[in-house]
Copies of this chain bind each other. A is one copy, B any other.
């Protein structure tokens, strides 16, 4: 936790917060902070800065905050991701926020098991928690936009063109010809399939919408490594 994210309800007035949950535990146990110590803070979707601890006991910490620093810019990148298996959702969503991706669109795909859509990891509250964990790691305050598209065909046929307009469309697919480009310096929309990959039908739907297929060489990376790898090559 390199930055503690503050929520609306933490504020007792414009410049004071009281924390009692795991952020308090982190300040007390990991930082081992005491009165007068400074901690790095940011307001969710707002400014970043720091705070001085004015009181701390076994139950809560009071902090006087000064938020005067803009959060880092997002990468000009939207990611379209086939719904990962539930065990991976937390880690991948956290990485989306950590890497600075501005928007995530989670889609269905032939190789996504139907039951994955019922995962308790997909509640609004859980998803926001994963994203905030990523922001707290990366030192950012701005939640990426996240949406879900449970029907593949209407999504690629009716919505994809508008999403990709003005951006370079890229689909990661091990079998395709071109290596992933480096440092592209333009807006992009990146599609990443499920474990086992998109089907040929699905890949072709993206190609029809103007996407270019890219690969990462001979190695097949797990989704979370492919996400970090491609994002980092592109920007």
Contact = CB atoms under 8 A, between A and B. Distances in A.
Interface of A: 2, 72-73, 95, 98-100, 137-140, 182-183, 216-222, 225, 228-233
B140 A99 contact: no
A73 B228 CA distance: 21
Which of A218, A219, A220 has the most chain B CB atoms inside 10 A of its CB? A219
Contact of A225 (B98, B182, B220): B98
A219 B99 contact: yes
A232 B228 contact: yes
Contacts of A225: 95, 98-99, 228
A222 B98 contact: yes
Given A182-B182, A183-B182, A139 B218 contact: yes
Contacts of A228: 221, 225, 228-229, 232
A11 B23 CA distance: 54
A221 B99 contact: yes
A229 B228 CA distance: 5
Given A216-B232, A228-B232, A230-B232, 15 more contacts: A73-B218, A98-B219, A98-B221, A98-B222, A99-B219, A99-B221, A100-B219, A137-B220, A138-B219, A138-B220, A138-B221, A139-B219, A182-B183, A232-B233, A233-B233
Contacts of A98: 219, 221-222, 225
Contact of A231 (B95, B182, B229): B229
Contacts of A139: 218-220
B221 A137 contact: yes
B217 A2 contact: no
A63 B138 CA distance: 47
A218 B98 CA distance: 11
Contacts of A99: 219, 221, 225, 229
A28 B216 CA distance: 29
Contacts of A183: 182-183
